[in-house]
Amino acid sequence: MIISTTEHLPGHQYKVLGGVMGIVTMSPNVVSNLGASLKNLIGGEIGAYTKIVAKSRDRALNRMKSNAQKLGADAVVMMRFDSDSISRDMETVIAYGTAVKFTDK
């Protein structure tokens, strides 16, 4: 499935099927939280949290693709990510876009 952050896909005409999204909320485990707390004292990247956000992003993208496939889509255009912290220890990532079906096949 083609995923694009642009509206137009060169060489393709399509019809819009509708909006699709994938949402994931994750939290680190106790060990990760302890490591992050210690890292916070000295500064720098908190690797455990970076991994959680990256994993959340991938899962949200896969859920969005799955929802697009259920609609019979060939692609998702205008794809975007959004994220927000629910609390100090929880991060939500949303992948969203417009599912489209090619009409030039």
Domains and CATH numbers, the chain: 2-102 (3.30.110.70)
Does residue 6 have a pLDDT over 70?
yes
pLDDT band for position 43 (50/70/90)?
low
Reduce the DSSP state of residue 51 to 3 states and report it: helix
Q: In what order do the strands lie in the sheet with 14-26?
A: 2-3, 75-87, 90-102, 14-26
Report the share of the chain in percent with pLDDT over 90. 58
* pLDDT at site 29: 54
Give the C-alpha distances (Å, rounded to integers) separating 53 from 6, 59, 74, 90.
23, 10, 27, 10
Does residue 40 have a pLDDT over 70?
no
Mean pLDDT score, 43-58:
80
Q: Which range, of 43-47, 50-54, 69-73, averages the lowest pLDDT?
A: 43-47
User: How many CA atoms are closer than 13 Å to the CA of 82, on its beta-carbon side?
Assistant: 8
